[in-house]
Amino acid sequence: MASRLASEAPKVGIQATALVAASFLSGAMMSLSAIAIPVFLDTNTETAHLLRQWARLYHYGHIYMPTLAVGTTGLYAYVGLRKRAANDKKWIRYVVAGAVTISIVPFTWLMMAPTNDTLFELEKLALANGTASVSVLEASIVQEQVVKWAWLHVVRAVFPLVGAILGLVSVLQEFGV
């Protein structure tokens, strides 16, 4: 008869929750660049409206996405610290998965802030001057900046995806797969 410990599957509830959260975060982020931004670009006839839509998208994303990244990182860190305390050498994988996931924050500060700032400035100008004063040249600049933001956002969405993959590999190894 197998011992009780040998017959029980390892508990992976927190790890699985972190994995699902990281996957959801990456998917939600990717959908903004792959679906929302193209819809904005295809349906807006006024540059000021495009800028307002982008600013609202940014506003809600800024509320939810970093919070979800912090929560996911916290779950990975919790698992990593518990495994380290138990002298399980696989703890580092969970910590790395968390670190990669939270990397969306410094990536935003370092790589996306200039584009974000430009778009916010353009929005401020469009609101101050009204839609009638926006030239064709300015409209193309706005569209260029929104497309640039979308591509940077795709790159940023890869971080939690990599975290989810690392988390998945770690969970599968716990099951001996």
**Residues 85-107: tens digit of each pLDDT:** 999 998 999 999 999 999 999 99
| Average pLDDT across the chain, whole number | 90
94 located within any domain: yes
Q: pLDDT band at 132, cuts 50/70/90?
A: low
The pLDDT of residue 1 is: 46
| Per-residue tokens: 115 | 């584009």
Count of domains for the chain: 1
By C-alpha distance, which of 64, 147, 52, 65 is closest to 107? Answer: 65
Q: pLDDT band at 128, cuts 50/70/90?
A: confident
Burial class (CB in 10 A: 0-12, 13-18, 19+), 65: buried
pLDDT at 8 exceeding the cut of 70: no
7 located within any domain: no
Provide the domain limits for residue 84.
12-174
Cβ(12)–Cβ(171) below 8 Å:
yes
170 located within any domain: yes
Q: Which of 11-15, 49-53, 163-167 has the lowest mean pLDDT?
A: 11-15
104 located within any domain: yes
Radius of gyration of the chain (CA): 21
169 located within any domain: yes
The pLDDT of residue 7 is: 46
Which pLDDT tens digit goes with each residue over 36-70?
999 999 999 889 899 999 999 999 999 999 999 99
The residue-averaged pLDDT of 7-20 equals 80
Give the Cα separation of 131 and 135 in Å (integer): 9
6 located within any domain: no
The pLDDT of residue 6 is: 47
Give the Cα separation of 105 and 61 in Å (integer): 12
pLDDT at 126 exceeding the cut of 50: yes
4 located within any domain: no
3 located within any domain: no
